[in-house]
Structure 1
Amino acid sequence: MIQLKERTTKAEMLQQLPLIQQLYPEFTEQFYGDLLDEMLTNNYKQVVAFENEIAVGLSGFWVGTKLWCGKYLELDNVIVHPNHRSKGVGKLLTEYLNQKAIDLGCKVVALDAYTNNFPAHKFYFNHGFVPKGFHFVKFLKEK
């Protein structure tokens, strides 16, 4: 049985590094921790899916307000361990965060998905998400 738990502290989130490395294999604990130091000051949180006390999926999330939509909840890096995909973990995470957005009075749930991540596009379409526009980026320097 999958249990969802919110994580709000750096120490709790650092424990999720192996899952984060599924998407960002180059991340070290130090680098991830430095990012969390900045992100946590901007109300970043995570919801983690556990099966038998083992983390099998997670999504970061933020709540904010923008002119185009008002109050919103943004999913950030939805990750499901490859051994646990197609078992409903992603659905549980997105449904949990959708309900959280409703409970918080958000008008929109938003997310970004890489343009070449077609499995993610299919998943999000199947869960009621639609593309609203383009998320343009301009890289100012290499990582």
Structure 2
Amino acid sequence: MSLTPTDVAPGDRRMSAHIRPLLLALRPALTEADFDRFAVEAHAQGLTFTAAYDTHGHCVAVATHRVLATSRGRILFVDDLVTDATCRSAGIGTTLVAHLTERARAAGCVRVELDSGTTNLAAHRFYHARRMTVSALHFTLNVGTD
């Protein structure tokens, strides 16, 4: 599949027209206003929003990612990876992961890392098929007033 990965910044009309709908499908608890606030704050913290466009100019997938210096080496951490539900199983996710892998190499990273919800078995199969391994458990502790 021929895709054109394009980085999109807050303020660009493609953020609300293309990226926001796909990320809201992945993160349904977010409102549009929540997403807009998140996008500005996270971008300021180094989050990159990469949209994958098909040959017709349709946004078919989105990855959000950042390069982090860690005690385990420099990594490209993928916060979100989502393909439009109507376009899945067409090689889009594979192509986007390959793009992220190349970006990681170019940035001097030793690994691409991401978290996946424990119940998202379809995503787990996808990641395993791309030779990704489960290397850690991610623990959380809520500290908010909710």
Q: Compute the displacement of 1:32 (Å).
A: 0.7
What is aligned with 1:73? 76
- CA distance, structure 2, for counterparts of residue 89 and residue 111 of structure 1: 18
Letter in 2 for 1:5: T
C-alpha distance in 2 between matches for 1:18 and 1:110: 24
Answer with 110-119 or 9-18: which moved more: 9-18
In 1, Cα distance between the equivalents of 2:145 and 2:130? 34
1:6 aligns with 2:7: yes
Tell me which of 89, 106, 111 is aligned to 1:108: 111
Structure 2: 5+ residue stretches without partners = none
Provide the aligned C-alpha RMSD in A: 1.5
Q: CA deviation at 1:142?
A: 6.1
Please state how far the C-alpha of 1:111 moved relative to its aligned partner: 0.2
Structure 2 CA distance for aligned equivalents of residues 34 and 89 of structure 1: 28
Q: Percent identity?
A: 24
Kept after mapping to 2: 8 A contact 1:14/1:32: no
Cross-structure match for 2:138: 135
For 2:32, give the aligned amino acid: E
TM-score (norm 1): 0.91
1:47 to partner: Cα distance: 1.5
Give SS of 1:133's match. coil
Equivalent AA in structure 2 for residue 2 of structure 1: L
Q: How does 1:38-117 map to 2 (within 5 A)?
A: 38-51=41-54, 52-67=56-71, 69-117=72-120
- Return the offset for 1:20: 1.2
Instruction: List aligned pairs for 1:6-45, cutoff 5 A.
Output: 6-7=7-8, 9-12=9-12, 13-15=15-17, 16-45=19-48
**What is the Cα deviation at residue 6 of structure 1?**
1.8
The range that moved more, 127-136 or 10-19, is 10-19
SS state at 2:11 partner: helix
Query: Is there any run of 5+ residues in structure 1 with no aligned partner, and where?
Result: none
| CA apart distance, 1:26 | 3.8
User: Could you tell me how far apart the structure 2 residues matched to 1:66 and 1:14 are?
Assistant: 32
The count of residues paired between Structure 1 and Structure 2 equals 141
